[in-house]
Structures are given as structure tokens and as C-alpha cells.
Structure 1
């Protein structure tokens, strides 16, 4: 009896080829597109984001070509509550969030998982470039995709054992160029379609404008200060800056200055020279361990603190309160609260969590 699967189809080439592989392997497949937000509500044009009518038509066209049923599910309320609201709240706390992680955690591998069960579908298939394998003890492991330029294991660190057991990632062993070649050979209309933006609801990069439109709030200007508290100028609203930022400060300095941290209570942004951005350790919370049930008190591994960053050698300490401290062998630049730290053992994801603080000592 063939496995019954639900394929999350965004309208892009990756999820389309993932659906093709599932059908090729003999699975009983249905394709679904998740309607996550209304473009008009976000204040963006239909052409610039996922969830557009053209994306739905692309996904529907692929499903028709593959001869699989296709549906559109409305998750706008869930997405607003679990992703957009969290995104805005993080910026208002002075953090820099990664909404793709929350979307995977609370929508794609949570709500869609439940919907799949309701439809009698035990397997979820996506176009992520990562791999899922079972070790000798029967534990499911999340591993990097073989294409280092497309590896997406960083944004999947929150997956549970149950989710890993019921998920298939057919593209984990492919390069992006191979995926496009397969799509071209199949004659898919989206074979050459550009990759979607990281922040789907702010594809023009203007997340500040999005937050202001969405909330109706005006974020008050405040002071730029140096590390001694001396006022250097005025910022345009605390949500518009992130740690490590240099461009767009609107002030000329004798030497390059960067955002070091944000003081939300006093509505101040601390600036510093570039060499003061480095920190040796961080603290993370809400940590999800994938490779083990109970972490050792101390382990040697490598850790990544941003999506497009190579991991660096570190020692990882599991604290008694559930938080995790990561001490790097060498200081890391602009470790940012709200971003994720993901710990690796080679190409295996050990676990990951949300950065809450960094320490340069």
C-alpha cells in the first residue's frame, strides 16, 4: 500500500520538483498551497511575494501536469498570530527575528501536519534542501543539504522527532542547478522562476514600512550614543536597526561606526567601532535538541549564529535552567538577540535555540 503524502507547494521550482519525486516514488500525493497573508493587507504588490495569485497558478499548473489533486488552504489567521505578531514583538523588544524559522515551526510542520492527519496523510513533503536520516538507535537526525550554498537545516532546527519521522525532503541530496534541470526536463512553467525572498511579507526589504503599516504605530526617534553614553545624533525609530549595521545611520563619523546594541527602555541605539562588535559567548533559550533527548552538560561542536554564516568551533554548555551557553574558540561578529544559534556535529544538527544575549568577555 502506497504512502499517503501532502506536498507543500509554494509555486516555486523546489517544491514542484519535490512533488514530482514523491509521485515518481509511487506515493499517493496531494499538493497544497498555504495562503499565509493577504498581499493587500501587507501593502505589497502581488508580483513581489509568495502567496500571490501567480504563485497559486504556478503550483496548480504543476499539480495538473503531475496529475495530482491540488488545494489551497487558508492559514492567514495562524500566520498573523504565530509569525507576523512574533516578528513585530521581537523588533519592539530590540531583537532581530527570523520569521522563516517561526513559519516552519508553527505553520508548515505544525498546522500543516495536523491538516495532513485530518486528510489521512501521514507524510509531509517540502522542497527544503536538508536531509532526514535515522541513526542506529532509531532516532531521527536532521542533516545539512549536500549543496552548501542551499543548505536550509538552520531554519529547520525546531523540528521534533515526530515531525522528522513524518517528513520527507527529496531535494536534500541535490544542487539547486540539478533541481532546475529536472524542472526544465519536465517542462514545468516555473523552471526558471527566481527564488522567493526570505521575508515573504516584506519582499522589498522594507520591514520597517511593513511594521508601521501593519500596526498603525509611529516609532519615535531617539538618541544614537557611543559606548560611554555620549549622544552622537538621532535615530529614526528603534525598530529600524539591527546589530552590526553600518549603512543607513544617516550620520558621518571620522571612523566607521556600527550598531552594537539597542536600549529599548531608553529608546537609545549604541554605536561602536567595528572591532567592538565581536563577542566570545552567547546565551540561548527555547533550545530544541534533535540529536539527543538529554544533552550532555558540555560538548564540543560547531555553532552558526546567522543563516548565511559558516559555523565556528565552540564548546556548548547545557545549563540547569534549560538555557544553553555557547563559548566560541574565536570571537564572533555581531551576535544578535532574536536570531537562532544552531549547533552542528559535522553535518548533523545537534539542536538550536534563540539567542538572548552575547558576552565579549
Structure 2
């Protein structure tokens, strides 16, 4: 009997051991399944975001601000790239075709857009952000069209976003497009827009207040990008080149600009990010002026993006530079 009891006990222990192994396996299997579901859930959550494709940086920045957590924004124009002469690749066209929302500035900024939209199979919402803005006519008398056939030859000045109230209108147009594409989250888009609209208004007030107090009102800039900003705040711009940031003036134009700088007591020549400062530096050297940077916010460098710079921070940097330069006149 004692022997049988020992055998029974040993058998019972063996059964318990097997059950324990099975239980551990089940737990491991369940844990693995949970992890897989979590990963799939995260992937599904990302795929549920509204895919927004933007033509260049300001459009991407505004779309992200209005879309918030509901959007995944792709900026077609790479960081650090000057967008005036940039054109999309076949992969970029495919991205536009698959987007739920495609945002572009318009006003003759993206010369490739009309052909792209005509040839591509675009099924999402397309928004021209500058719709409804009173556009400036481009000053082609100052452009170097004959010297440079690539010089911007559009009818309008496209740099509307450099006046904060225009940027606010562009944000509103983007908001309307997101509401149309994703009505389930309309209230969030409306709330985000209202928040940023107040930021644009505050920025406009800062520019108006500080620029109204400067002793000078004339700026010399590397290309004709600041017309809307100057119109909004009573300034005058003298551009070294026309609308194309990479154009170069001929000798006659250079001489005229040098004389303009001397006649108007201009102490700062503004170059910009993304293009060579060579011409601006040359004029500065000939006139005894200094050369500084005024950013048209056509694109940011990767290190600026990594540092958290955006439209508002760069515009405030621009305001500081403008006030400093104008108070030297």
C-alpha cells in the first residue's frame, strides 16, 4: 500500500508539472498575441490619420497646426531646398494621388501644380491656400527674365504668407479642406483654427506696433519676396532680383541698387536662407552696409526643424532683424 501511495504521489506531481508547463505556454502565447495586437493597433491608428501632402514648408506647417493629431503631413519639398524651381518626382505625384488632402499655395508659386493635377489621378480634396487673398501683381520690370529664362514669370507675387493676416486666411482655407475630407473631426479642426487664428492676430499686432515706431521704412532684400509684408506695415522693399530667389541682376541693375542704398541711407542688406548670399554681400561691401538674413520662410533647414522652429518663431526673428535695420536709417 505504501508503495502504491508513493507511485500515486509521483504520478500526481508529474501531472501538475505538465499542467504548469501548459499554463506557462498559454500565458506566453497570450502575451505574444497581446503584443501583436498592440502593434497592429498602433499601425491601424496611424493609418487612420488623414494623409495630407503639402507643396512646401509653410503649407505643411499650417496643415499640421490645424490638423493636429488627426493628420499625417508630408512636405514634398525637402528640408533645405529652395522651392521656386523645385519640381516633383513621379513618387511625389503618387503621394499627391494617394493623399486625402493636397495643399498648395497657388498665386503662381508652384509652376508645376496645374500640369500635375491635370495628369494625375487625384481623388482627395485639393486646396489652393491663397484663394480669397488679394494678390499683388508681380513687378516684372525688375525681373531678370531676359538674362535668366528660369526667372519667375508668373502674374502674381506668390509670397502671401509673409503677411500674418494672409497666413491666417491660408490656415482657414486649409481648415475648410480638412473639415470637408474628415467631417467626423470637424470640431477639432475648427478649435485648432481658432487657436492659431489668435496667434496670427497677435503676430500681426506685434509687427504693426514695432514697425510703426522705426525711424526708417525702406529695406533692400535679395529677392522680391516681402511685398505683402511691406504693404501691410507701410514699408518699401528694393529687391536685388525679382521673384526667383536664385536669379542674378545684370551690371546695370547692380549699379542702380548700389546707388539706391547710398541715396536712402540703407545700412543693412538682407540676404536669406537657402540661397547664396554672394550678391547681397557684394552690394554691402560696395556701400559700407552690413549683410544680414531675412527669412522668406520658403523652407527651413533640417537643424531648424529639429530645434522646433516654425512659422511664428521665424517671423519673430524677422521682426527683430527688420526693427534693428530700420532704426539705423
TM-score normalised by length of structure 2: 0.29
Identify the structure with the greater helix proportion: 2
Structure of larger gyration radius: 2
TM-score normalised by length of structure 1: 0.27
